[in-house]
Structure 1
Amino acid sequence: MLVELLMVTAEAARAETTQCCGPYVRLQWVCDIYEQRCQARHWIAAACAFLFHLLGCTFFANKSATHIHVVLLEAFRDLSQTGRYAWGVTALVHMYDHLNDASISTSRQLGGYITLLQCWIYEHFPLVTESTADSNYDEDSPCACRWIATKKIVKSIRTPTYRERLDRLRIPDACWIPYGEHRPVRDFHMISCYSGLLRWGPVAVYYRPERVMRQFGYTQTIPAPPADS
């Protein structure tokens, strides 16, 4: 995809993903590609690079995020369709698909771009992991921008410590409705209560909001049994 859609050489694509230790590219690298394509008047590739960089900067990235997953470039293969995409669905499907893999007992890693999950944990479980809130944050910005997390902080906590903290959690330790102050800026839309399959390309995942109704400010009832795959 990097070679085909951004017009970089195979060697440059390999070098970048090798430096990022996986199927990721740096946002600054994408920005440089955009400028190069503009200078060369390769406008289609420049548009792909611009939208790819914009997606990484505004939709997925928080203050500490500097990389974006290459698979998201697939969304810009046909530029005439990009304005019709439900980008929230794209983000959820991509993250849920990797969470499905990570839930298998033999899995040892979680793939994908998990900034949304990381910030969700900070919002809902403040006692599980250390996090630093940005003192300059205002509610007009995306929720993910509230948090400053460095690799040094994340890697300093060992897995057994996380498990101990999770085991000690009680109901009052969870923040069930963390977005109250954000609601005047970003309204809650009833479409968020949709329950069923979400799809992006060939990947389909189950979206079951009835299992976390407290998060939406509603009373939690006993949810339906898990759907048959």
Structure 2
Amino acid sequence: MSDKSHNYIHAYYIQYFEDLSQVHQWNWGAAALVHLQHYMDEASENGCCQMAGYMSFLQGWVISHLPRISVWSVDANYTETLPRCARYVPGQGQRDGAGYREHLDNMQLSDFDFTPYDAHRGQRPLIDACWFSGWLRSGSVKGRHLPERVLRQFGYVQGIPRDPAASAPSGLTMDQIDDAFLEEMEDRLIDEDMRGAAVVNRWDYEPGYISWYYRVSHPLMLKIPPHTDLPRPPMLEVLIEEQTRND
């Protein structure tokens, strides 16, 4: 729960350590998620050069979904009863970010694992609260939780999501965030109609989604000359949609 200094935490959390015999009763996983989402929001802003939050959580997610990007090996003693991050043995990474960027530029569908937790569901079922769409908070820190923007990770075809303000408007007080989560949970879940169709092929997506993504997201970071020819144009889906419209 430390800030970007990695040495300090908010005084708010002292109350949870007054009785160490009760520490295990608190939901530290949810608190870690809020902090990670909060600082990831900050890290996406121009000019931010630091990151805070539960880095093991983030690294575990990255390696689970992009297994070929890391040199970390799988622990032979891992079982699904253990936390997912315990599956990997830390190894030496690349100090130069250019290697990772080149790898990302050359990735194909076969390099992704969109639903890596399927085998883990017997130990950690996907509960309804995971479909909550709105603000989460821990102490004075808050972060948006918007599962409708990552439907592919849940096995559904990704479409153009609604505006984040529809479920997580800015300007809410901490009390209002608490009320929405505690009293309006059922009304704020992404229901089956909103989830849409289940994925059949790895490349499934709703028409228009890729073009939308290139308009609102950040598909290009810092352009660097590739060491090898790219296996496909990075905007292939957009080019196909434009060609179809022109025809």
TM-score tier by shorter-chain length is 0.5 to 0.7
Distance 1:71 1:173, change over 3 A: same
Residue of structure 2 equivalent to 1:139: 80
CA contact (8 A) 1:76 1:82 kept: no
Instruction: Find the partner of 2:42 among 101, 115, 132.
Output: 101
Instruction: Give the aligned residue type for 2:126.
Output: F
Q: Distance in 2 between matches of 1:137 and 1:83?
A: 23
Report deviation, 1:73. Answer: 7.4
- Structure 2 CA distance for aligned equivalents of residues 84 and 139 of structure 1: 22
From 152, 155, 160, the equivalent of 1:217 is: 155
Shift in Å, 1:148: 1.3
2:6 aligned residue = 23
- Listed as ranges, the matches of 1:23-172 within 5 Å are 23-24=6-7, 70-71=8-9, 74-78=12-16, 79=18, 85-150=26-91, 153-154=92-93, 156-172=94-110
Are the aligned partners of 1:129 and 1:162 in contact in 2 as well (CA < 8 Å)?
no
Letter in 1 for 2:153: Q
Deviations 1:175-205 (A, max 9, x none): 1110111111211111101000001111221
CA, structure 1 residues 204+172, in 2 after alignment: closer, same or farther (shift >3 Å)? Answer: same
Q: CA deviation at 1:111?
A: 2.2
Task: Name the one with the larger helix percent.
Answer: 1
Give me the CA root mean square deviation.
2.6
Unaligned runs of 5+ in 1: 1-16, 25-69
Give CA-to-partner distance per residue, 1:143-198, whole Å, 9 cap, x none.
01001114xx12x3411111111112233321111011111121111110100000
Q: 1:84 to 1:143 in 2, by over 3 A?
A: closer
Distance across 1 between alignment mates of 2:79 and 2:11: 30
Are the structure 2 counterparts of residues 125 and 90 from structure 1 closer, same or farther at C-alpha, using a change threshold of 3 Å? same
Q: Identity rate of aligned residues, in percent?
A: 34
**TM-score normalised to structure 2 length:** 0.58
Stretches of structure 2 that go unaligned for 5 or more consecutive residues are 171-247
Deviation string, structure 1 residues 92-135 (Cα, Å, up to 9, x no partner): 11111211221122222322331100000000011222221101
Aligned equivalent of 1:36:
none
Distance 1:91 1:84, change over 3 A: same
Counterpart in 1 of 2:178?
Answer: none
Aligned residue identity for 1:23: H
2:106 partner amino acid: R
